[in-house]
Amino acid sequence: MRFDLTDLRLFLAVVDAGSMTHGAADAGLSLPAASERLRDMEAIGKVKLLERGRRGVRPTPAGEALAHHARLILRQMARMRGELGEHADGLRATIRLAANTAALTEFLPQPLGAWMAAHPRIDVDLKERQSIEIARAVAADLVEIGILSDQVDTGGLQLRPFAIDRLVVVIPRDHALAASRHVDFADIVDQSFVGLTDGALQGHIDVHARRLGQTLKIRTRLRSFDGLCQMVSAGVGLAIMPETAARRGGKAAKTAFVRLADDWATRRLSVCVRAEEELSPPARDLFGHLGSRGSR
């Protein structure tokens, strides 16, 4: 059997996601290209690797065996690149890191930027994912480091504190809630909102709306928190975002915010790895750097 590293990464991504579409996206391939590669893998190996059904895909016993060996191979490749990078001039290495929206936009840029500036030969492949997806990706060795919330199962992963993320409702300064310190999500879920264009945070909010039997009335979607604050200021609707973003954007947009009282709206973010001793030296150094942030 002759599988290349792209084949192995794709196969693990599909197994982890339980979906051809999501797995292809995580591997950076189009769905047709990914499907063709997986068919070729089964043809070359003369064995069925995936069971395809209406609810997604799952590995066959042969697929489970391949996934096990693929993780070992990719982990060893990462360690080899890291160790060579300590001795070879000009050799670059890449660390795979996944973070949820709050970490990616509010808490990660400063410490990651400082670390990358001090390590000019190390690149970071950074992906935005929901926390539950990050836990699965780290456990499956699809990414080396993850930053996620404490509201998902992280059993088997090594964690270090990273930050506390508080979600708030951004409102016009003359809104009826402006005098309130806290508000329950259930009390505002039927109002009009402006939301983010996709992203892990918007998915997180939508999940909790559905748990209340509601679908948020999203009047429009934007890519930035500052843009959401401008829309709120104009009276288009309410917005939910991290408190740090609301403080920053509210100064220019002249908006106010109220903290959400729900437990799910205060999230402790952790930086996580599958096993620190398995990391390449650069990834181990970055994990320690990010983890030291939570101890301040």
- pLDDT (tens digit per residue) in 4-33: 889 999 999 899 888 899 889 888 889 999
Task: Report the pLDDT value the prediction gives residue 17, as an integer from 0 to 100.
Answer: 84
> Tell me, which fold does domain 1-80 have in CATH?
Arc Repressor Mutant, subunit A (1.10.10)
Determine contact, residues 27/34, Cβ cutoff 8 Å.
Answer: yes
Express each pLDDT in 37-92 by its tens digit.
999 999 988 899 999 888 789 999 999 999 889 888 887 877 776 666 656 555 67
The answer to pTM > 0.75 is no
Q: Give the 3-state secondary structure of residue 189.
A: coil
The angle that helices 31-45 and 5-17 make with each other, rounded to 10 degrees, is 110
**CATH top-level class for 164-266?**
alpha beta
Express each pLDDT in 90-118 by its tens digit.
567 889 999 999 899 999 999 999 999 99
pLDDT(239) > 80: yes
* Rounded alpha-carbon distances, angstroms, from residue 74 to 8, 67, 70, 127: 8, 10, 6, 18
Task: Report the pLDDT value the prediction gives residue 109, as an integer from 0 to 100.
Answer: 95
Express each pLDDT in 253-288 by its tens digit.
889 999 999 999 998 999 999 999 888 889 999 999
Dihedral, CA of residue 227, residue 229, residue 232 and residue 237, to nearest 10: 70
Q: How confident is the model at residue 133 (pLDDT cuts 50, 70, 90)?
A: confident
Q: What are the boundaries of each domain within the chain?
A: 1-80, 164-266
Residue 284's nearest CA partner among 271, 294, 296 is 271
Tokens of 88: 């070879």
